[in-house]
Homo-oligomer: A and B are copies of this chain.
Amino acid sequence: MTQGKKDVEQITGRDIDFAKWYTDVVTKAELIDYSQIKGCVVLRPYAYALWENIQKILDDMFKKTGHENVYMPMFIPESLLQKEKDHVEGFAPEVAWVTLGGSEELTERICVRPTSETLFCDHYKNIIKSWRDLPKKYNQWCSVVRWEKTTRPFLRHREFLWQEGHTIHATVDEAREETHRMLDIYADFCENYLAMPVVKGQKTEKEKFAGAEETYTIECMMHDRKALQSATSHYFGDGFAKAFDIRFTDKDNTLKNPFQTSWGMSTRIIGGIIMTHGDDSGLKLPPKVAPVQVMVIPIAQHKEGVSEAADALLEKLKLSGLRAKTDVSDQSPGWKFAEYEMKGVPLRLEIGPKDIQNNQCIAVRRDTKEKIALSLTDIDKSVKELLDKIQKNMFEEAKANLDNNTFVAYSVEEMRDIIQTKGGFVKAMWCKDLSCELELKEKALVSSRCIPFVQEKLSDCCVCCGKPAKHMVVWAVAY
């Protein structure tokens, strides 16, 4: 091997130590680098390109539903953060405080936004006077800071990237409709772009967002059967509007408080993609968001005509709108195969002297590792069909994992037993009392993930206390 060549490094087996496997993948696939500050990571080009694809799709969905992007300051004065009581209680313990500007001590300390409800409210108060000014449907792409004690790449950063939508409406109905519309958009995005099936539902009082009246969530099951809260949408009623004194003159000439929502998805979802689809060879990216959808690998590239054929193939794929790349470095084909499997490229096309003779190339699917000879005629069309198949298959595999690992429990013991032996989502009836939720946390180590929109009447009794049940809840161990 030539001096300077790299080895594809080994990673821990996924089913041997899932946590270690995960950390190996995020570093070996060159997604992140650690910075000197715990929980603050570098998103390397490959991770950022993935995030850009996610942004582009979501941003289009937001704009098509009438949302506009804005940018709010990153700093919140302490007095502003404190205006809504529940909100400050939820966030103040984990914010980073700026106390010095240059060499001067600030008269009021300011926090780096953990979320921007208070900033949006402060702005709405300035710009909303009449019913003509409503609704405002805003979104922003930014980073937020939460000074967590335990951190983990993508899943729990002290600083992370996200989008946060903040809307304000004249009526309850309009705000409620918005809350649900955005949850539906997240669910659509997760299932149809990230190949991650979701369970949609409402959070319990205990689990809802600080300051919200209602929080809705999409919950995904990871390969290790734990739950990942993948996006949330909040209905605030007029609580924030009252706390911030936002009022508008309605058509009937009376002053009213408007109604608000907020909703967000973050780079955490990249952790979700990794843990849903990845395997012992590394990352496995859904074609619709993969930074590179097709990797063209020339075989025996020093032989006459090979590089040219590889280039021609690459150009054809690019022209048809595919995100395709080639690697003509002097690493061995074997090294390249392993490298781009590690990076989760959905499809590899191998092209060598024999293939050229036969007017074909060899396609290798990242999801199944199946090898398929494809004619170079209409290669763009057959590649697109294959990518669609891969996308669909990845969803179906994840769906099977969710379906096969969703169980029902009728007692605390049964729930604990399922969680300890199999893991997964456990459906069980609940009386709606916090005490039962806490008891399940303590005894079965689960948290309530959501009250699914699709309810089943498993029994009449709460799984914990046996009193009359109000809802079926999905319980699980969560990230």
Contact = CB atoms under 8 A, between A and B. Distances in A.
A52 B3 CA distance: 45
A368 B33 CA distance: 53
A45 B73 contact: no
A135 B159 CA distance: 28
Interface of A: 3-4, 6, 33, 35-37, 40-45, 48-49, 51-52, 68-75, 77, 80, 93-103, 109-110, 112, 119, 122-123, 126-127, 130-132, 138, 142-143, 145, 147, 158-159, 161, 249, 253, 329
Q: Which of A43, A73, A122 has the most CB of B within 10 A?
A: A73
29 contacts: A3-B253, A33-B123, A33-B127, A35-B119, A35-B122, A35-B123, A36-B77, A37-B75, A40-B74, A40-B75, A42-B73, A42-B123, A45-B68, A45-B138, A49-B68, A49-B69, A51-B71, A71-B143, A74-B74, A74-B112, A74-B143, A75-B159, A96-B101, A97-B99, A97-B100, A98-B112, A101-B147, A102-B147, A132-B329
B96 A69 contact: no
The 7 closest A-B pairs by CB, nearest first: A40-B73, A45-B68, A101-B147, A97-B100, A43-B71, A4-B130, A102-B147
A71 B46 CA distance: 11
A132 B40 CA distance: 27
B69 A52 contact: yes
Given A35-B72, A74-B112, 10 more contacts: A4-B132, A35-B119, A35-B123, A36-B80, A40-B73, A42-B73, A42-B119, A48-B71, A95-B102, A97-B98
A126 B44 CA distance: 12
B71 A161 contact: yes
A99 B126 CA distance: 31
A159 B71 CA distance: 11
A145 B112 CA distance: 12
A3 B195 CA distance: 51
A452 B456 CA distance: 75
Nearest to A59: B52
B97 A70 contact: no
Contacts of A74: 40, 74, 112, 143, 145, 159
